[in-house]
């Protein structure tokens, strides 16, 4: 127990120090590259703290409820980051980051969880009903997201009304998201009989779990904002294209919480929890975060965010939704399926390296 507590407090301390240093570097206008690196460390350690709290929360709630709550907390930084970026007129970065979040979770993070879990445990099994429902909702959500792009690319009469079409699509996606919450909440809490003596010893009290999640979530939102403030000048210094930065760097950093949590759970052979956290994050980006930002942009930012996306982003979304649906449909995962998911993500990311 002492070793456990020491490890927990070590992560809390590192996260606190890195967050404070990031704040100091930001407000003193220090080197953007240095601020970028320190803020990345802060995000990673905060993600680990949230990962510990989320695992403890799973002892009181089912996989679905844990996944929904954790994904919501994890997506808050990206909501703030994208909103501030829209206020600065960086529509391309926001579009790339939103699509990149879906791709990173559905392909890279899910693939890495399957790969590492498969290497450690062989074939991992999970209850396939809930994951199947989530990925089918993802297919439907992605289909709704690409309709405005197709209307524009095919030069249909709706092309002249892309903003109205985007608003209508956003409202429909939010309605579907609200209707999907009861399904995501399915699943009961873990019982005491399923816990080993060592796991019982590590149980946190529920107030402690909620407190850690709340503090770490707020801190992650603040650090993510400072991270993006340093991102644009860091892009110029490091000669990275804005499209690649949004698709890969901002997307992965903004979802650092889910990235760490999902992989941690897979390494502990909790495949149901891992898939719930990772796939619910993608689903919330598609069904909630994206339409919310579309609606907010028409009222609070100088440039409206529409759902007319670059064609390559649309293709990437379609491939991610279809491939992840096929892989989780049988209720089993292995390291080779994880490698395939990661391989597709890397190929899509490389295609945006030059812009």
Band (2; pLDDT cuts 50, 70, 90): very low
pLDDT tens for each residue of 205-232: 888 888 887 888 788 778 877 887 887 7
- pLDDT for the residue numbered 63: 62
For the chain, counts of helices (H) and of strands (E): 16, 2
Buried b / exposed e over 117-140, threshold 16 CB at 10 Å, is bbeebeebebebebbebbbebbbb
Diameter of the chain by CA atoms?
A: 67
Band (120; pLDDT cuts 50, 70, 90): confident
- pLDDT for the residue numbered 190: 38
Question: What is the rounded (10 degree) CA torsion for 249, 250, 254, 259?
Answer: -20
Range of the domain at 66: 2-351
> Which range is least confidently modeled, 3-12, 192-201, 339-348?
192-201
- Can you tell me whether residue 286 is helix, strand or coil? helix
- Averaging pLDDT over each range in 49-58, 125-134, 151-160, which range is the top one? 151-160
What's the chain's Rg over C-alpha atoms? 20
Angle at 109 between CA 284 and CA 177, to 5 degrees: 10
Domain of 104: which CATH number? 1.20.1420.30
Q: Is the pLDDT of residue 288 over 50?
A: yes
**Domain count along the chain:** 1
Give the helix ranges, DSSP H, for 58-154. Answer: 63-87, 91-103, 110-121, 129-153
Angle at 336 between CA 320 and CA 43, to 5 degrees: 60
- pLDDT for the residue numbered 224: 77
Contact 19, 46 (CB under 8 A): yes
Closest to 106 measured CA to CA, from 340, 351, 353, 354: 340
* String of DSSP letters for 192-254: GGGS-HHHHHTPPPHHHHHHHHHHHHHHHHHHHHHHHHHHHHHHHHHT--HHHIIIIIIHHHH
Band (4; pLDDT cuts 50, 70, 90): very low
Note the pTM of the prediction, 2 decimals: 0.78
Find where tokens 């524009």 sit: 152
Q: What share of the chain is helix, strand, coil (3-state, %, to 5)?
A: 80, 0, 15
């Amino acid at each position: 127990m002492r070793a456990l507590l020491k490890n927990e407090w070590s992560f809390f301390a590192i996260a606190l120090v890195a967050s404070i240093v990031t704040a100091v570097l930001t407000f003193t206008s220090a080197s953007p590259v240095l601020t970028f690196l320190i803020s990345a460390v802060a995000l990673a350690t905060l993600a680990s703290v949230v990962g510990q709290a989320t695992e403890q929360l799973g002892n009181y709630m089912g996989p679905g409820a844990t996944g929904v709550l954790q994904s919501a907390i994890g997506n808050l930084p990206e909501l703030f980051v994208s909103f501030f970026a829209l206020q600065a007129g960086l529509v391309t970065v926001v579009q790339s980051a939103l699509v990149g979040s879906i791709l990173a979770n559905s392909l890279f993070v899910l693939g890495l969880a399957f790969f590492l879990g498969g290497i450690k445990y062989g074939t991992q099994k999970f209850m396939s009903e809930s994951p199947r429902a989530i990925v089918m909702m993802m297919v439907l959500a992605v289909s709704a997201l690409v309709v405005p792009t197709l209307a524009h690319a095919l030069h249909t009469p709706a092309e002249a009304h892309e903003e109205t079409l985007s608003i209508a699509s956003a409202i429909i996606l939010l309605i579907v998201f609200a209707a999907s919450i009861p399904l995501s909440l399915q699943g009961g809490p873990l019982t005491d009989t399923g816990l080993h003596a060592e796991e019982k010893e590590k149980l946190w009290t529920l107030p402690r779990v909620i407190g850690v999640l709340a503090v770490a979530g707020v801190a992650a939102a603040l650090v993510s904002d400072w991270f993006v403030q340093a991102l644009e000048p860091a892009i110029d210094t490091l000669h990275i294209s804005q499209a690649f930065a949004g698709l890969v760097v901002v997307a992965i950093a903004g979802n650092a919480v889910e990235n760490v949590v999902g992989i941690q759970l897979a390494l502990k052979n909790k495949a149901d929890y891992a898939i719930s956290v990772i796939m619910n994050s993608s689903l919330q980006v598609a069904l909630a975060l994206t339409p919310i930002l579309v609606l907010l942009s028409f009222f609070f930012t100088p440039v409206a965010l529409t759902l007319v996306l670059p064609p390559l982003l649309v293709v990437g979304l379609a491939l991610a939704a279809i491939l992840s649906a096929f892989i989780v449909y049988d209720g089993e995962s292995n390291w080779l399926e994880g490698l395939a998911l990661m391989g597709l993500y890397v190929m899509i990311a490389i295609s945006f390296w030059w812009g």
